[in-house]
Amino acid sequence: MIVNPFTYGNPISDARRFVGRERQVEQIFSRLRNVEFESSSLVGERRIGKTSLLNYISDAQVRRNHRLPPEEFIFVYADLALLDAATTPTRLWQYLLRQISTHLSDADGELLGAALADHNALDNFTLAEVFDRLDAQKRHVVLLLDEFENVTRNKNFSPDFFYSLRSLAIHHRLALITSSRRELIELTHSNEIRSSPFFNIFANINVRLLNRDDARALIENALSDTTVRFTPTEIEDVLQIAGTHPFFLQTACHFLFETYLEDRHAAQRRALWTRRFEQEAAPHLTEYWRHCDEAEKTVLAALALVGASESPVPKTQLRDFLLRSERRIAQLDKHALVVARDDSYAPFNGLFTDWILEMIREGPFARDLQTALQGNRSNAQAVIRATGLSPRELEVLRLVATGLSDAQVAAKLVLSPRTVSTHLQSIYNKLGVNSRAGATRFAVDNGLV
Ligand SMILES: Nc1ncnc2c1ncn2[C@@H]1O[C@H](COP(=O)(O)OP(=O)(O)O)[C@@H](O)[C@H]1O
Ligand SMILES: [Mg+2]
């Protein structure tokens, strides 16, 4: 009985089946190896492979290869999707300490026993003492906190919780590796938490699409233990329709492999796997779409239409809009919803592109699209009226808001840097702000970038 080697439901748990992500893995481990024992925050949409990555770095051999011997470094994984409205910080700490204690010898484990025995005693001082003892024994703790937004969004977790967690991480041999759908700072339940210094301890690491070589390696590795070989055309089809997104890739290959198990003719295989793949994948595309804000949806629609044979909106208008949307595209790229192609971008796989086009054809979305595409323009007119900015100043403001320096803005507009800084001063005055950050915030708030 041949077993299908492609799986798409559960995260990858066997390190040998994990492909790619060398740079991110090295970045996480090097932050743990440095003297400050630094934390990282993995950011990526659902199903991009965050849990698989956490599993991979927990693997004893992988850790040894990266010079973090399991004897010294305790890795504890927590699936925070288990949190609910009743979960308190004390309850979470109990759980984590219990997990840590399973890595300790009986005698060492006892030190945690006392902390765990009495709920009320589990305060910040007790926690500090626990980590003091672990430090004294040269044990380093890495907490892998999967779907950490469940904590930052839970009202039971007040700013105090984050302050003390930060303090433990700074003063002890404790590091955190969190995962979340978007940057944690965007997923908090209050402004107070958003402005907490807690988030400063992390470096954000984006979990993105695989590169094409890794995607091919994934297919090849999986097939190597079987007698099945996909044809070169099939592999190209898979890479076009599913792209290099690991979840969609595994799903597509899973259904293609099924057609081999069913002994289908080459001619039947494509129709079968693509239909089954579509059925399985569509709900996830709907979810990604729902998670996007209006501006991101417009950019995705424009990217899908600009490469399509027909478009309800003139292509020149689409291209013009996309040129003004650099910042949003970069954001979508970070969230693995678009893929770089030559010198442009496209939705992250062929299925998503078709899905978007279908939705534009069928739904009310098309009606609003034209307005949305012109959104930037009309915003600009409104801003000019309201602030008295000149068109030139507006141009400078937009470029500054995309993060360009004075010199870069000057080069783009063929002006001298001095003229740019004069423009900037006038922009600050008219907007009533006194910094680039202030001007940028104004531009973002008013939909200029
Ligand atoms: N590095 C990888 N190598 C091979 N397959 C992967 C990899 N990362 C993710 N996958 C595939 O994608 C699916 C979703 O990954 P998962 O780790 O559960 O994502 P997330 O935690 O971000 O939702 C897995 O079931 C697996 O099929
Ligand atoms: Mg996960």
Identify whether residues 264 and 301 lie together within a single domain. no
Residues 144 and 232 in one domain: no
269 and 416 in a single domain? The answer is no
Q: What DSSP string describes 144-176? A: EEETTHHHHT-TTS-HHHHHHHHHHHHHSSEEE
Picking from 174, 206, 238, the residue at the C-terminal end of a domain is: 206
Ion ligand 2: protein residues whose beta carbon lies under 5 Å: 51
281 pocket-lining for ligand 1 (C-beta < 6 Å)? no
Domain span including residue 54: 21-206
- For position 391, what pLDDT does the model report? 81
Q: What long-range pairs does 90-97 form, CB within 8 A, spacing at least 24?
A: 90/119, 90/122, 92/151, 93/122, 93/127, 94/119, 94/122, 96/143, 97/130
Atom of ligand 1 nearest to the CA of 18: 3
Q: Is the C-beta atom of 218 inside 6 A of ligand 1?
A: yes
Atom number of ligand 1 nearest to Cα 54: 17
> What is the pLDDT, as a whole number, of residue 120?
66
Q: Is residue 11 part of a domain?
A: no
Partners of 345 in the beta sheet? 340
The answer to whether residues 136 and 242 belong to one domain is: no
Q: What's the confidence (pLDDT) of residue 369? A: 79
What are the mean pLDDT values of the chain's consecutive 10-residue runs (449 residues total)? 90 95 96 92 95 97 94 94 92 91 78 70 85 89 96 91 92 95 86 84 94 96 94 96 97 97 92 96 94 90 92 87 89 93 91 94 77 69 80 88 88 87 91 89 80
Same domain, 97 and 223: no
Ligand 1, residue 147: give the atom nearest the CA: 21
Q: What is the pLDDT of residue 121?
A: 67
Q: Give the position of tokens 């992250």.
A: 348
Domain boundary among 191, 206, 221: 206
Identify the pLDDT of residue 188. 83
Could you tell me if 197 and 96 lie in one domain? yes
DSSP 2: P
* 52 neighbors 86 (Cβ within 8 angstroms): no
381 within domain boundaries = no
Do 299 and 248 lie in one domain? The reply is no
Check if 245 has its Cβ closer than 6 Å to any atom of ligand 1: no
End-of-domain residue from the set 206, 231, 253: 206
